[in-house]
Structure 1
Amino acid sequence: MHFSKTLATVATFAMSAYAALPVASVDFQSWESCDVGAQVSGQPKFVARVTATPLTCDKTPVNPDWSIDNYSFSAKLDTKDAAYCHGVIIWNNDGCSGKPTTFLPFDDSPFAVGKCLPDILDPGYVSFKLACDFPGAPF
């Protein structure tokens, strides 16, 4: 009986810790064309949505379509504890490793809209992590 109580306590703690994890939705947008360095507007040709947290590395493939000449990223903080997060770190690989490709700042807002980027991404993947300042955060 004591073991069951301990297990239930551990499970409750784990769920509480997970519920407090900051989460953001990140859109990786592929454009046929947009003005590099300018805010994007209109409808991208492709959109991939991923979830980003400070503890996980989420990824999506780079679209290999020959008509894609530009990319952009946008993000929305999904949890109130995400107020401790200041942006999304983006890599051009599937493991959130090495030198990041770009950083998407929240600038004291729950939304971040990136600017039009040139076709700088290599085929493969882009991966994402939230950059947060809270006790125990990896960044």
Structure 2
Amino acid sequence: MTAYAGLPVASVDFLSWEKCDVGLPATGQPKFSASVTATPVTCDKTTVNRDWSIDNYSFRARLDTKDAFFCSGVTIWNNDGCSGQPVHFQSFDHSPLTDGECLPDILEPGYISFKLECEGYP
């Protein structure tokens, strides 16, 4: 994990599934996974895996620093610049760990980018 002095930090896993039930927690072993670090002032990104067998996606997020407990969740965009209309918001719901629900194949080829949403940061 990269060190970010004085910033709230969260780890986000982007999980690709062959099949999972949309709207329910994704369980089992994902087909592919990618991990990124999210802060309120950086925009981390990873590629969207376009394997023909991928039908669903989910996100898992974990608060890594004490000051991250003031953060509400992670905003996710389907581009490499954290801009435009987000495709998903992964809420922490007052917990340091969140396993997201299974999402349909809503992502376009290219990148997804992440930004941690925290009180007191733009």
TM-score strictly above 0.5: yes
Unaligned runs of 5+ in 1: 1-17
Query: Structure 1 vs Structure 2: percent identity of aligned residues?
Result: 71
**Aligned pair 1:23/2:9, yes or no?**
yes
Query: Higher helix share goes to which structure?
Result: 1
- Name 1:114's counterpart in structure 2: 100
Distance (whole Å) between structure 2 residues aligned to residue 78 and residue 125 of structure 1: 24
Task: Summarize the alignment of residues 6-85 of structure 1 with structure 2, pairs less than 5 Å apart.
Answer: 18-85=4-71
Give the number of aligned pairs: 119
- Structure 1 residues 30-80: Cα deviation after superposition (integer angstroms, max 9, x where no partner): 000000000011000000000000000000000010000000001000000
Distance (whole Å) between structure 2 residues aligned to residue 71 and residue 53 of structure 1: 22
Deviation (angstroms), 1:20: 1.6
The amino acid of 1:133's aligned partner reads E
**Aligned pair 1:92/2:87, yes or no?**
no
The amino acid of 1:36's aligned partner reads V
Query: Higher strand share goes to which structure?
Result: 2
Unaligned runs of 5+ in 2: none
Distance (whole Å) between structure 1 residues aligned to residue 89 and residue 36 of structure 2: 16
Give 1 or 2 for the bigger CA radius of gyration.
1
The amino acid of 2:58's aligned partner reads S
Distance (whole Å) between structure 1 residues aligned to residue 118 and residue 65 of structure 2: 13
- Structure 1 residues 101-121: Cα deviation after superposition (integer angstroms, max 9, x where no partner): 010000001011110000000
Runs of 4 or more consecutive aligned structure 1 residues displaced over 6 Å after TM superposition: none
RCO greater where, 1 or 2, for CA within 8 Å and sep 6 or more? Answer: 2
Distance (whole Å) between structure 2 residues aligned to residue 22 and residue 112 of structure 1: 16
The amino acid of 1:30's aligned partner reads S
The residue matched to 1:89 in structure 2 has which SS? strand
Deviation (angstroms), 1:19: 2.1
- Name 1:14's counterpart in structure 2: none
